[in-house]
Amino acid sequence: MTSCVSYSPPTDPIHPVLAAFAAGLLAGLSFSASSLSGPPTLATASCSESDGSSSPQVHSESNTRASTPSTAPSTPASSLGPPSIASDYGSLPYSTSALEERQYLKLAHSVIEHGELRSQVKGGTGARAIFAPDPLRFSLSRPVDPTNLFSPLENVIPLLTTKRMPFGVIREEFAWMVRGETDAKVLEVKGVKVWTENSSRDYLDSRGLEHLEEGDIGPAYGFQWRHAGAEYRGCEADYKGEGVDQLARIIRSLLETPQKRKHVLVAWSSADVDDMAVPPCPILHQFYLHEPVRSLLPVDPKPRLSCVVYQRSADVCLGLPFDIVNAALLTHLIAHMTGSVADQLTYFIGDAHVYLDHEPALREQLARPLVHDFPTVTIVRSREEIEREGGFDSIVGEDFKLGEYEAAPKLSFKLHP
């Protein structure tokens, strides 16, 4: 069994370089029995970018007005055999990425083993759920060389490594939201179909949204980010200057009054929720700017930006991994636009659930070892270029370049619209 240092997320404003240097020393002192026999064999997929044309679909919450009770199997989760978390025996003696991904795997394990059976859920299948699990914490930057006290930092993106995730899809959807767009056909043109089913004619009609055109998701997600409070007139209307541009306001407040406690992005609107194809799952982001660490180290003492997310509903297998990466990209983008460096992402969840038909693939994922680190991500254009070329309205998927990404093969989970 691998011997590793126990992990406790930092709460003090310790400079990331110092923290990583200490981690490197501990890593050198830790002893791993697996180092005697070599790392476990694992089929992997390596990529730097993903076209995302065949990605799973996300955001599976629908809150249909007419809910039809479904008959859920009464077989207990343990009937499929106890899941094993092979990552506990991985070949990495010390890795922040491994420790952080293990949080997610243990959450999934906890839901299928101890979750309450929920039979009246959408999609004609049951689910197991727990409410208000422990938060997940992710580091969004790390030293290029953790053993070098003077190493520069690199941006990290928490893409799971126990299954391959389509970063190309995630970045296109994220950029679409940042621009405040609500027309799913814009994504379909690029081969991204994460919203196709939830904006189909049949689905919109089932939600009582006959007034929306097919492909229109209503005043959800990006519309609330960029035009909160504006009257929604359809996905083709021009909303420039209407409502509150929450993203622009957060940038201004972080630059002008960094110590205030009002750096909040809200996606939930009680006035608009019934007109949305899918009400937002992550409903609140709050940002916190840490003061630069003053020291004699020859490193750039940039402020560090952390983010707390509250997500009301999390489809643990399908939607949650996408939403975590989405929040990480948002934190990196806001840090980029404020001259800071992304630091910590803390993720709170209300209803964490696993659909019963997702369990077999999830158990396969839990049996896979953790042998890879999270990849890096780079924002290609400078802050000045983004501002000069249209600000948030100019953000495109290609602005986010993924570093080397190694992961186990992808797994398929059915979307429950």
Q: What whole-number distance in Å separates Cα of residue 73 and Cα of residue 82?
A: 18
Residues of the chain scoring pLDDT < 50: 1-15, 17-18, 20-83, 87-94
Q: CATH number, domain at 256? A: 3.30.572.10
222 in a structural domain? yes
286 in a structural domain? yes
Which pLDDT value is given to residue 92?
44
Q: List the catalytic residues.
A: 281
Q: What whole-number distance in Å separates Cα of residue 258 and Cα of residue 18?
A: 24
Whether 192 and 250 have beta carbons less than 8 Å apart is answered as no
Which pLDDT value is given to residue 296?
55
Which pLDDT value is given to residue 100?
94
Residue identified by tokens 């506990």 is 88
377 in a structural domain? yes
Q: What whole-number distance in Å separates Cα of residue 263 and Cα of residue 392?
A: 17
86 in a structural domain? no
Predicted structure pTM score: 0.79
Which pLDDT value is given to residue 241?
93
C-alpha to C-alpha distances, 342 to 48, 150, 275, 361, nearest whole angstrom: 21, 18, 34, 33
Number of compact structural domains in the chain: 1
Cβ within 8 Å of residue 336, ≥6 positions away: 379, 383
Q: Dump pLDDT digits (tens) for 359-407.
A: 999 999 999 999 899 999 999 999 999 999 999 999 999 999 999 999 9
72 in a structural domain? no
* Three-class DSSP labels, 355-369: EHHHHHHHHHHHCCC
Q: Which domain holds residue 139?
A: 132-351+373-400
227 in a structural domain? yes
276 in a structural domain? yes
Q: What whole-number distance in Å separates Cα of residue 230 and Cα of residue 239?
A: 8
82 in a structural domain? no
Which pLDDT value is given to residue 399?
98
